[in-house]
Chain A
Amino acid sequence: MTERLGIIVSGSLNKGVEVRLDSSASIEDMAVGRFVTIEGEKRRFFGMITDVSLGVTDQRLSLTPPDVSDPFIAEVLAGTSTFGTLHVSPSLVIGGDAAAMLEGPQPVKTIPSHFSAVKLSTQEDVELVFGTEDEKRFFIGNPLDMEVKLCLNLEELVKRSNGIFGKSGTGKTFLTRILLIGMLQKSQAVNLVFDMHNEYGWAGTREGGPPVKGLKQLFASRVAVFTLDEENSRHRGVSTDGVVKIGYDEIGPDDIALLRQTLNLTDLAVEAVHQLSRRFGKSWLEDTLALKGAEELPEGLNVHEGTLLNLQRGLATIQRLPFIEPHSPANAVQAILEHLDRGINVVLEFGRYRDITAYILVANMLSRRIYAQYQSRMEKADAAANESMRPRPLVITIEEAHKFLNPEVAGQTIFGIIAREMRKFNVTLLVIDQRPSGIDSEVMSQMGTKITCLLDNEKDIDSVLAGVSGRNELKSVLAKLAAKQQALIFGHAVPMPVAFQPREYGSARSYRDFAPRKDAEEDIEKLWD
């Protein structure tokens, strides 16, 4: 039996409805973000508590408060003269007749009638709205204060670019791990993870606890770990599948343009890169560094001395990166693509090179080349009208996304293009960031599903919620999330916004739960032996 919370007393479709709490329901048990069901006369509505407030029938009660030290008086007044109200934003509705039941929940176009009963949602309600765990849906956590499995349709999720946001230390990485596992199990998509902090492939860290397992440890046969820093990976006992080295000749002018801010280059220097690469061809980087001064520049190149120095200083920073070699022996892009084609997820570890320059350079370079391959393959498949020729959907996971997607560079980086063009070429992004306000608003608006942990900067909250209906209500939910292990999900892949607690990750049991299939189970058993 579900507990009745109260009745609808007023409201509007735009602003949500007011619920007067029954005296039996304690206002202290309510919480913003909770999922509630409203039983209208003909329809059932689903919504979320977005505000909680106190009311009195007589203003004098607040001026001369009664003697509530007497439990009798307190009990009489609670729920009658003094009462709690909830603000609920209904987002979905389901009709009572059979046809409507089959159709499933639809977005609300009206509100429940006066005095409709409001209840906490039951397991059936949640399952009706979010579905149950099946071959497409993945259990990602529990709605706040509920013991029900909240499932996410990952097939839908990977069709758009998505974002995971939250302050540092709010559980973004754990959430990402869960999502990556979900994608690995329930969707056709493969992942390419640019793992800046070496958190996803092999063991990851946990605040105040032992390290947690990475993807490769759980799904050895379906995850490959590439590394930029072989020594570091070996040192940490990671079994890597490949080492990525980048040749000078693989770095193009566009890659430098993206690094303008991190390398502290002037606009003129970036301009000069284009000229130089046109003139010197593939070896432009080496040739430019070899120049002793502006006077050595070939005929017809108009680069100022200062600009050249500025550029050379910047290029030297790149040259010093240990994984950059004059000529890379193996084609890293091809190796990664081969793995992706076989349906194997690739995690690229950066080892000790956590420097943002390295990260931007590598992520951008690799993604651009991989994306180009995808684009041409998709075009071929479309030209041949052959679905089976299409490459597997690819999800590229990037951290510190505001470095790639800030308004200044979003137009130039490949990630800006992927985010905007979305799934036309079967490549989408999973963006992880702690400063969403730093991301270009155009890119943000193209993101399908956003999952956000606690954010407290007003700008960040605004940018995450920009363009979402009922954003004021969601704002109050978002600002009140717990500092750890609570998140709000909204957008394309979920029928309605919902605050949830991500499922457990890190205990032996949680690992077992993640891997219901036989082979994975055996792998895990071996790990624990």
Chain B
Amino acid sequence: MAEIQRVGEVIEASTTGFTAQCYELYQMPPLGSLVRTGDSAAELYGIVCNAATASLEPGRRPIARGRDEDSEEAIYRSSPQLAKLLRSEFGALVVGYREGDKLYQHLPPRPARIHGFVYQCSSDELKDFGKSFNFLNIILNAHLPVPAEELVAASLRRMSQAHDDQRAFLVAAGRELAVLLGGNLNQLNAILGRIKL
């Protein structure tokens, strides 16, 4: 269970997604990874669909500081306040939830709670979640800041790494996509091109 990693805290939540701030600058989970928040009564699963690092205050943009420094690390060393003035956040698209032992791949009855801890899912959880591909439909139909095919491909690639037979998993997912995208060949081809091994 060591790999379970707390990656942040919810700072904004809606039925379809939530935004979390990372505890450490730049420590956001990768695009497409599966994260989890909520308590034992209802755990929400989200797929990281967007991440950003910006100034704490919206009106105050960072300025360039590295003219006299040798390396990028040196900038942060000489201005330690930077880590406090900047913040990394990531957005997650809610793709399912767990109530008790049952895992559902549709929208939860209630959104995540603010300040709920966000964890990166273990590979066992990934395997469990990957048993069904209903979440693909949620991604394909969501309004996303990134192209849906990018997110689908990224999430499948990450999920496949948890599986022993990566190829079989991806083929099964591809088949599901072929059905979902029966009328949209270009999108299907774009995704298949991004997930092939």
Is A61 an interface position by the 8 A CB rule? yes
Contact B188 A81 (CB under 8 A): yes
Contact B170 A81 (CB under 8 A): no
Contact partner, B183, options A58, A70, A72, Cβ 8 Å: A58
Contact A72 B182 (CB under 8 A): no
CB distance from B116 to the nearest CB of A (A): 37
Contact B183 A76 (CB under 8 A): no
Residue on B nearest A77 in the bound complex, by CB: B178
Task: Name the interface size band of chain B.
Answer: 10 to 19
- Cβ contacts under 8 Å, B177 to chain A: 76
In angstroms, Cα B96 to Cα A383, docked, is: 88
Is B175 an interface position by the 8 A CB rule? yes
- Cβ contacts under 8 Å, B171 to chain A: 72, 75-76
Is A342 an interface position by the 8 A CB rule? no
Contact B170 A72 (CB under 8 A): yes
- Cβ contacts under 8 Å, B192 to chain A: 66, 72-73, 76
Residue on B nearest A73 in the bound complex, by CB: B192
Residue on A nearest B171 in the bound complex, by CB: A75
Contact partner, B196, options A58, A61, A64, A73, Cβ 8 Å: A73
Contact B167 A61 (CB under 8 A): no
CB distance from B175 to the nearest CB of A (A): 5
Contact partner, A79, options B170, B175, B182, B189, Cβ 8 Å: B175
In angstroms, Cα B178 to Cα A79, docked, is: 10
- Cβ contacts under 8 Å, A57 to chain B: 178, 182-183
Q: A58-B185, A72-B197 are in contact. Are A80 and B167 (CB under 8 A)?
A: no
In angstroms, Cα B167 to Cα A60, docked, is: 26
**Proximity bits, B81-118, A CB within 8 Å = 1, else 0:** 00000000000000000000000000000000000000
CB distance from A9 to the nearest CB of B (A): 14
**Proximity bits, A68-87, B CB within 8 Å = 1, else 0:** 00101101110111000000
- Cβ contacts under 8 Å, A72 to chain B: 167, 170-171, 174, 192, 196-197
Is B63 an interface position by the 8 A CB rule? no
In angstroms, Cα B133 to Cα A80, docked, is: 15
- Cβ contacts under 8 Å, A70 to chain B: 196
Contact A80 B196 (CB under 8 A): no
The 7 closest A-B pairs by CB, nearest first: A76-B174, A80-B178, A72-B196, A57-B182, A81-B178, A80-B175, A60-B185
Besides A72-B192, A75-B171, A81-B182, 12 other A-B contacts (C-beta < 8 A): A57-B182, A58-B185, A60-B185, A64-B185, A66-B192, A70-B196, A72-B171, A72-B174, A76-B171, A77-B178, A80-B175, A81-B178
Cβ contacts A to B, 21 pairs, < 8 Å: A57-B178, A57-B182, A58-B183, A61-B185, A66-B189, A70-B196, A72-B167, A72-B170, A72-B171, A72-B174, A73-B192, A73-B196, A76-B171, A76-B177, A76-B192, A77-B178, A79-B175, A80-B175, A81-B178, A81-B182, A81-B188
